[in-house]
A and B are shown apart, each in its own frame.
Chain A
Amino acid sequence: MTDPLDRMIAAAKAGRMSRREFVGRTTALGVSAGLASALFTKAAHAEPKKGGLIRMGMQGGESTNSLDPALAASEVPFAVNYTWGEMLVDVSAGGEVVMRIAEEVSANADATEWKFKIRQGVEFHNGKTVTADDVIATLRRHTDEKSQSGALGIVQGISEMSAEGDMVTLKLASGNADLPFLLADYHLVIQPNGGFDNPTEGIGAGPYKVVVHEPGIRHGFEKHANYFDDTIGHADQTEILVINDGTARTAAVQSGQVHMINRVDPKIAELLKRAPGVQVKAVPGRGHYVFIMHVDKAPFDNNDLRMALKLAVNRQEMVDKILGGLGSIGNDFPINSAYPLFDDSIPQREYDPAAAADHYAKSGHDGSPIILRVAQGAFPGAVEAAQLFQQSAAAAGIPLEIKREPDDGYWSNVWNVEPFCASYWGGRPVQDQMYATAYLSTADWNDTKFKNARFDELLLAARAELNSDTRKATYSEMAKIVRDEGGLILPMFNDFVEAVRDEVQGWEADPNGELMNGRAHVKCWLA
């Protein structure tokens, strides 16, 4: 082999080169594309090394966190659940359903009845075997409104559940082709007897056992010796340190105290790339930063005014200045190419002050300033983004007035209350879930108060549709409805920006969530 090829293989091994980049460069050396791709697979999936202690430093943990998976609502509990817990199924980086505790999934023709065959011999940390009854009990606990589960909305659609031997049967009130994706939700950790006895005991069937649980400080785990899948869980021990301060987190990864960190500030990503021993990874995800208008309140009940505001955002400028280029522009509907069945032929909305001014004039707004409420905590850079919006809108003759709100209480006093404010969404594994969460007329978190009968009808039709071409067309039509009539201004999708030390191997981009969907410490190993 030639020297440059060796170097590239080394780079691929260390995760410094993407597959596309690797294939592009090696074919330039005369290697066939097929061989190049195979070489990359071999290099990138070098034999994992077992043992050691992997540490992650994460933002998003509080001393108020609980081990009850139903209550998880921030990044650290999310990763913690995935460390000790095992789900029925999982979603791969490529957007496919992966079997975990279930080893087979099948549905009837209209997707109203689903059967999950439970894998034999999966063991909880307390030595008990996972049974179909445990799975049913888990789902039942999350279905119970008293459990305060974040997954309540997901499991609510299940009208009947039954266990028979190793087979779990779920009957749905209406067909849902995406059910397995929904059951991969991080709240739905399978617990012994569903966690009814003690939801916070932290006993699951995941790759690691909980050893230390100090909420807001650190979470320590050791390998679950009888874990059923030896392709993950390489380290003997793993630890998640809660480091909420950005500078402290960066210092911890630079000094080698942790191997990986989440939430690198886009402003310092370029600088951190130059630090020795550390790589910065920007992974396109489904999360997005938004400005939301309540379509049922004046002046936002006028579609021309909404359209004027949508046209008055300079999206590229926001991606460049707010995200430091680590993101992509949005098109005023909450779906991007990271979702399955995304239609990339929908025209991109551009900044057009002239058209915005036309719509503004047509709306007949009285010229009084439109109040946009924003807090720094709405999303990183929210205040600055609002200022950019104010300027670009002013160029179209639309007066925006920014009203700064305190972070404290923002989600209870401003978001979903005031008619126009900044917010963010983390995205969902499938389009159906994203739309059903926030755009369906009856959705609990319909934060734009968007009610459209045609949209609702399409959503329900797509949900029960197993033909993916038809589904894609339906989703495309729904996207256009939200884009042209909704109250959502979506200027940008943000990347997950993370820093990983060189000794970490096996890292791969996963659009489902930050740090390889909360499993970087489970899937990676140390060189």
Chain B
Amino acid sequence: MHPVLTLVVQRIALGLLLLLAVSAVIFLGVAALPGDTAQAILGQSATPQALANLRTEMGLDQPALTRYFNWLGGILTGDLGTSLSNRTDIAAAISQRLGNTLFLAGWAAVISVPLAILLGLLAARYNGRWPDKLISGATLSTISLPEFVVGYIVLYFLAVKWQLFPSVAMVFPGMGMMERLNAVILPVIVLVLVVLAHMMRMTRAAILNVMQSAYIETAELKGLTPMRVIWRHAFPNAVAPVVNVVMLNLAYLVVGVVVVEVVFVYPGMGQYLVDHVAKRDLPVVQAVGLIFAAVYIGLNIMADVISILANPRLRHPK
């Protein structure tokens, strides 16, 4: 087998193992949450009788180990179980929420990744001059503000004051593509502003690092334009660190945007998870936790694989 293939397969196997370990940790963590599920569901106004009935019905009396293996078996067969709090099928509810989250994250990524790399390249090209300072200053200031502040600022100007876009990013099945895009435009803007700086700075730093190399000097001496030197010679060698940061940010766009979801009332995974944590809806919390972990691990594996493939020394071993 080609050594690169072996490496890739190893990474994937390791990822799956990690996922299994994470599932155990999630299960233990959720089981250790303080508070009582039945009380959380029925709220302050629950009568002791209603509480006792609900507890028996939810099977909270079974031992934890049995519940873990039942749960794991269910997941492997595609059955995420039933939500305790509103008795709906978790897989169905999650698929729609996950679709929404991926839609938002996807558009934010489609805009932010090329933009960040382009800005990074420009900043590297004009290193230390005003375009570099402008780009770095602007992106660093948007990342320094907490995302809900960025959200409120965008909301105030674009939705309330000038009324250009809807403040409530409500999407639902059966919505046209343009309608959907119009609805999510504000959260996309906020997410782009939040993730831009990290990727841009990494691109810039990685390229500047490569620019010290002798072969770059050679390229310059050949008389290539600075942009061409960066694009053809520096960037391919800076891909590995950039990809890692891009993947981290993509993972963040999927799993970490609950605040943005709340501000724009976007029906994504984050809010769904928070609601169910508050109600101690263990099957949902576990399922969402596992999906988030899978996204993180999957994107990290992808980053690893791309780094491996981008490395000529690994691609063409002696």
Contacts and interface: CB of A to CB of B under 8 A. Distances in A.
Contacts of A148: 42, 50, 53-54
Contacts of A255: 159-160, 163, 166-167
A3 interface: no
Interface string A215-249: 11110000000000000000000000111110110
B35 A412 contact: yes
A255 B44 CA distance: 35
B275 A73 contact: no
Contacts of A152: 47, 49-50
Contacts of B155: 247-248, 251
Contacts of B156: 251
Interface in B53-68: 53-54
A39 B258 CA distance: 51
B135 interface: no
B41 interface: yes
Interface string A71-89: 1011000000000000000
A142 to B, nearest CB: 11
A413 B34 contact: yes
Contacts of A214: 172, 267
Q: How big is chain B's contact interface, by range? A: 35 or more
Contacts of B204: none
Contacts of B170: 217-218, 241
Interface stretch (B81-89, B110-118, B300-308): B81-89
A347 interface: no
A268 B168 CA distance: 20
A248 B262 contact: yes
A408 interface: yes
A64 B279 contact: yes
A62 B86 CA distance: 10
A212 B172 contact: yes
A196 interface: no
B276 A248 contact: no
A248 B264 contact: yes
Contacts of A66: 85-87
B152 interface: yes
Interface residues of A, number: 46
Contacts of A153: 47
B142 to A, nearest CB: 19
A257 interface: yes
Nearest to B52: A145
Contacts of B54: 148
B40 interface: yes
A64 B41 contact: yes
Contacts of A248: 155, 167-168, 262-265
Nearest to B259: A245
Contact of A245 (B50, B87, B265, B267): B265
Contact of A62 (B35, B39, B168, B278): B278
Interface in A123-167: 145-146, 148-150, 152-153
B168 A243 contact: yes
A487 interface: no
A215 B34 contact: no
B45 A149 contact: no
A217 B93 CA distance: 12
A244 B262 CA distance: 7
Nearest to B266: A217
B143 to A, nearest CB: 21
A245 B166 CA distance: 16
B151 to A, nearest CB: 9
Contacts of B43: 73-74, 411
B281 interface: yes
Given A214-B172, A411-B39, A412-B36, A146 B53 contact: yes
B48 interface: yes
A444 interface: yes
A257 B168 contact: yes
Contacts of A218: 170, 172
A65 interface: yes
A258 to B, nearest CB: 7
Contacts of A200: 86-87
A445 B46 CA distance: 8
B45 A445 contact: yes
Nearest to A412: B39
A254 interface: yes
Contacts of A289: none
B271 interface: yes
A63 interface: yes
Contact of B267 (A216, A408, A415): A216
A213 to B, nearest CB: 10
A63 B93 contact: yes
Contacts of A411: 39-40, 43-44
B271 A408 contact: no
B45 A73 contact: yes
Contacts of B47: 152-153, 444-445
Given A73-B45, A251-B160, A409 B86 contact: no
Contacts of B281: 64
Contacts of B272: 63, 216
Q: Which 7 A-B pairs have the closest CB atoms?
A: A64-B85, A409-B35, A412-B39, A66-B86, A62-B275, A217-B267, A251-B167
12 contacts: A62-B278, A64-B85, A148-B42, A214-B267, A245-B265, A248-B264, A251-B156, A251-B167, A255-B160, A411-B43, A412-B39, A413-B34
Given A63-B272, A216-B267, A247-B152, 19 more contacts: A63-B271, A63-B275, A65-B86, A146-B53, A148-B50, A148-B54, A149-B50, A217-B172, A241-B168, A242-B265, A243-B168, A245-B265, A248-B155, A252-B167, A255-B160, A255-B166, A411-B39, A412-B35, A445-B44
